[in-house]
Amino acid sequence: MAAQEVRTPGSKPGGTMLWGGRFTGGLDPLMVSYNESIYYDRAFHTQDILGSIAWARGNHKVGILSDAEFKAIEEGLKKVEAEWVDGTFKIIPGVDEDIHTANERRLGEIIGKDIGGKLHTGRSRNEQVATDMRMWLRDELRKIEVFLVDFLKVVAARAEKEIDFVMPGYTHLQRAQPVRWSHWMLSYGLAFASDLERLREVIARVNRSPLGCGALAGNPFNIDRDAMAKELGFEGLMWNSMGAVADRDFVLEAMQWGSTLMSHMSRWSEDLIIYSTGEFSFVRLADAYSTGSSLMPQKKNPDSLELLRGKSGRAFGQMAGLMMTLKGLPSTYNKDLQESVEPMLDHVKTVGDSIQIATGVLSTLAANSEKMRAALDGFMLATDLADYLVRKGVPFRETHHISGQVVALSEKTNTPMEKLTYEQLESVDARFKPDVSECFDFERSVEMRTSKGGTSKKCVLEQIEVLKSMLA
């Protein structure tokens, strides 16, 4: 449930704003709404409360807060969080500029401003928002990690189950060589597994604490940054206070990661869109991930895959936009950095939702092995024909030319290459022997690719095991 909004006039000069004491003139009402971020950074309410409790504990340990004051602040903050969770928190426009001021304002109402006003001692919103964002992003990326692992488990399971399906492999969207359907799935599966490895590295860099860095120069009360970081689940510290409050590389890197994953997702979707057309019919999407036409009753459109393909552009655009925001900023904190929040929130949701949709698509689509095999043609074995002569001792450059002559003969006589007689093949080159007929076997062709990474059954099973090991 969303927090409730209470409509009140804009703040008075020098009034309730945390920074208001120095100002004597009022803000343009449009500037008030233009400046406030509460309607999207309220997503960080849990992280802001946890960070504030850790901050209060740190101030308690250095003697700024008494036992009773710390206890009151901790209990009050938990009540504020409960209001966010049950949807009863009332946002006051023009007063609750962001999640930090909203929580502190409400805390003062619950426990009194005399005690509540001590919470912010030694702390800046510059470090506070950076802390909230890192905690939130870390937690969300860990959820995405689970989504991605689940998706890859489906890839591995289908690849194992449908390993005997043989289909055309394509280059330039032209039929090239026979491959296993499982080999195609793993071509993307292993790319996504590399994304998983990169994600884990990104999470480790996100999970560093800026709390205790102040506005830019550090904390004057000897607060224990290590203890606060440990309490909040961080794995390390941001070591320079100026850099810590200005840094949004952690957001940018996460969005760069998401853009890479979504580019893989887009290409994966494009292949499946093609394979689902009537011209191919290699796969059929479940009704749950398809839509119909408002005009043509026979249509079954792959909207899930088209949306995945389309949202990759959205993800990349958010990343590129943030790069442009960051590229010319002076040190340290500048209000431009507020523009890192909304794209991060949307990017993370887009990527997380996309992986879950992809998992649903892949786990429910039907693969048509008969259509795949019917799409194979003898020309796809031209390389096998060249390889046959290589094994007879003929240089490959020569065998490539000879195999091309066989293709030309097939086209000239309008005879499928695999239907050419031994006499016709021998007329092209006398080094062809009767056993050349063995080349015209699609199953044999895929089984000949036995080097690691190939499309033989042994190699594909090995790839499945490699993929599974990357999920651990």
Q: Is 66 a catalytic residue?
A: no
Cα separation, 59 vs 249, in Å, equals 29
End-to-end CA distance of the chain: 36
Residue 158 phi/psi, 5° resolution? -70, -40
Cα separation, 266 vs 15, in Å, equals 51
- CA-to-CA separations, 333 to 43, 134, 247, 459, in angstroms, rounded: 21, 16, 8, 53
- CA-to-CA separations, 280 to 80, 276, 284, 404, in angstroms, rounded: 57, 6, 10, 27
Amino acid identity of residue 107, one-letter, is: L
Amino acid identity of residue 162, one-letter, is: E
* Residue among 250, 229, 314 nearest 55 (CA): 229
Contacts (Cβ under 8 Å, ≥6 apart) of 84: 3, 42, 45, 46, 49
Q: Print the SS3 string covering 62-124.
A: CCCCCHHHHHHHHHHHHHHHHHHHHCCCEECCCCCCCHHHHHHHHHHHHHCHHHHCCCCCCCC
Take residue 400 and report the two structure tokens written for it: 């490539």
Amino acid identity of residue 47, one-letter, is: Q
Take residue 161 and report the two structure tokens written for it: 């189950």
Q: Is 183 a catalytic residue?
A: no
- Of the listed 172, 294, 451, 469, which one is catalytic? 172
Do 50 and 352 touch, CB atoms closer than 8 A?
no
Beta bridge pairs of residue 166: 180
Write down the residue that tokens 């009753």 correspond to: 297
Residue 404 phi/psi, 5° resolution? -60, -35
Cα angle 403, 406, 409; round to 5: 155
- Of the listed 37, 45, 100, 293, which one is catalytic? 293
Do 232 and 54 touch, CB atoms closer than 8 A?
yes
Take residue 446 and report the two structure tokens written for it: 């895929």
* Residue among 443, 365, 370, 374 nearest 180 (CA): 443
Q: Which residues are catalytic?
A: 172, 293
